[in-house]
């Protein structure tokens, strides 16, 4: 008899999690509760309800988490300008802590003693999910089927599905993407198949959200974003909720071929992996956020944020959203954003985002100080001589001592 009585499963309704659902019932002889999160992945999540019922699940949780996802996870991350290894905007990484949080809440509501996910033993998601689970409920039992069962790949799973009468969706050849994909309001990712060869260029047919930059409109489009406390609150003067902001930026970015990247990244478990990502709205938002910070943040605050950003991004990528150091960094970052208010004007054109204007009532930009014309005494240029001589003092001492610096 299994010591697991009830388990909460992160359930998409697809083949993999349908197999996991049946495997849990069979292997652990336990009740399974399913949880399906709508994070803006663009699929009909309600289909999961019928599929779960067909598998004998009586307690089914399907939730629209789009607003919470953008407001409480995406926006705080973008206040930090977080980018992993110079390019990745962390679209998959930032969704995992929210899913983990809701699974633990549902486990407590349902009186479940275990949670389960479909992440493989090779990837980052197993780490992200489980670090979240343990941070929020340290005594929870975690079941990771890919680390337990003897199935090695898709053919084994198809045979399992056939033996247990699990419906397999048969689609016309060419109608289903061969790639492993993950989508939410921030991004869509592609891995596997021919992308496993890092020399192979991804086919144009792979991309779902963005047009090719070559086929984007021949005329640029201007857009104005309004920031309040470091977050975008309005587009072209129209105030919107957090999720609607990102949806509209995705539409605009997709139309103009913005936000495609093709990278080889370093997974937390140790291997390198090649992935392609579409993050149209996030690419626009990051560019605009840095622009409004450029006129509102003190120089040393801005530079300190840039020094902290890689550490923050690595914490998110590796799954440490609920760790005390991430929370500490977030408090520092959020404190800096009180003055990050104003408007940024952007030009979108064939895969590019150009900043063409920025203004703020909290701006530190003083035209009198930087003008090439008469500054009316705002800055005494003679002061620069003493500034330079003091900063050169240690260099002069090195030279006087006969030390070669070059």
Query: What pLDDT, on the 0 to 100 scale, is given for residue 198?
Result: 97
Digit-coded pLDDT (tens) for 265-308: 999 999 999 999 999 999 999 999 999 999 999 999 999 999 99
Domain ranges of the chain: 6-71+92-163, 180-297+340-359, 375-400
Residue 173: pLDDT over 50: no
Domain covering 180-297+340-359, topology = 3.90.1260
Q: Which residue among the candidates 66, 79, 96, 128 is catalytic per the annotation?
A: 96
Q: Which residue among the candidates 47, 49, 72, 180 is catalytic per the annotation?
A: 180
Query: What pLDDT, on the 0 to 100 scale, is given for residue 169?
Result: 63
Q: Which residue among the candidates 16, 260, 290, 336 is catalytic per the annotation?
A: 16
The answer to whether residue 125 is catalytic is yes
Query: What pLDDT, on the 0 to 100 scale, is given for residue 118?
Result: 95
The answer to whether residue 64 is catalytic is no
List, in order, residues 6 or more apart from 230 with CB less than 8 Å away: 75, 78, 79, 289, 293, 334, 336, 337, 340
Query: What pLDDT, on the 0 to 100 scale, is given for residue 301?
Result: 98
Residue 248: pLDDT over 80: yes
Residue 188: pLDDT over 50: yes
Residue 373: pLDDT over 90: no
The answer to whether residue 96 is catalytic is yes
The answer to whether residue 267 is catalytic is no
Give pTM, 2 decimals.
0.94
Query: What pLDDT, on the 0 to 100 scale, is given for residue 222?
Result: 98
Average pLDDT, the chain: 94
Q: Which residue among the candidates 12, 18, 93, 125 is catalytic per the annotation?
A: 125
Digit-coded pLDDT (tens) for 70-89: 999 999 999 999 999 999 99
**Which string of DSSP letters, residue by residue, matches 119-173?**
--TTSSHHHHHHHHHHHH-TT-EEE-GGGTS---SHHHHHHHHHHTT-------T
> Which CATH code is given to the segment(s) 6-71+92-163?
3.40.50.620
């Amino acid at each position: 008899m299994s010591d697991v009585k009830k388990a909460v499963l992160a359930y998409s309704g697809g083949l993999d999690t349908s197999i996991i659902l049946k495997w849990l019932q069979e292997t652990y002889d336990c009740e399974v509760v399913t949880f399906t999160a709508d994070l803006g992945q663009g699929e009909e999540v309600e289909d999961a309800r019928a599929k779960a019922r067909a598998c004998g699940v009586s307690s089914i949780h399907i939730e629209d988490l789009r607003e919470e996802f953008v407001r409480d996870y995406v926006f705080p991350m973008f206040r930090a300008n977080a980018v992993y290894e110079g390019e990745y905007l962390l679209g998959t990484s930032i969704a995992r802590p929210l899913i983990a949080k809701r699974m633990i809440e549902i486990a407590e509501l349902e009186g479940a003693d275990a949670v389960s996910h479909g992440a493989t033993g090779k990837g980052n998601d197993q780490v992200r999910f489980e670090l979240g689970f343990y941070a929020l409920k340290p005594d929870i039992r975690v079941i990771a089927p890919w680390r337990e069962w003897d199935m090695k790949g898709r053919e084994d799973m198809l045979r399992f599905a056939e033996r247990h009468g699990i419906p397999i969706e048969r689609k016309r050849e060419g109608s289903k993407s061969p790639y492993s994909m993950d989508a939410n309001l921030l991004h869509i990712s592609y891995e596997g198949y021919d992308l496993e060869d890092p020399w192979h260029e991804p086919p144009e047919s792979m991309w779902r959200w963005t047009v090719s930059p070559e086929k984007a409109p021949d005329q640029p489009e201007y857009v104005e974003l309004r920031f309040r406390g470091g977050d975008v609150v309005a587009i072209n003067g129209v105030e919107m909720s957090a999720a609607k902001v990102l949806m509209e930026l995705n539409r605009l970015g997709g139309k103009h071929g913005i936000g495609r990247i093709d990278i080889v990244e370093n997974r937390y478990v140790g291997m390198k992996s090649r992935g392609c990502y579409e993050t149209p709205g996030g690419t626009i938002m990051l560019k605009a956020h840095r622009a409004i910070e450029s006129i509102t943040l003190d120089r040393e605050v801005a530079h300190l944020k840039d020094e902290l950003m890689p550490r923050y991004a690595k914490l998110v990528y590796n799954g440490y959203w609920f760790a005390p150091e991430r929370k500490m960094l977030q408090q520092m970052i959020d404190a800096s954003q009180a003055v990050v208010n104003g408007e940024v004007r952007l030009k979108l054109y064939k895969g590019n985002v150009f900043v063409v204007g920025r203004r703020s009532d909290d701006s530190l930009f003083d035209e009198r100080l930087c003008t090439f014309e008469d500054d009316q005494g705002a800055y005494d240029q003679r002061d620069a001589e003493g500034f330079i001589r003091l900063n050169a003092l240690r260099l002069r001492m090195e030279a006087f001592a006969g030390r070669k610096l070059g």
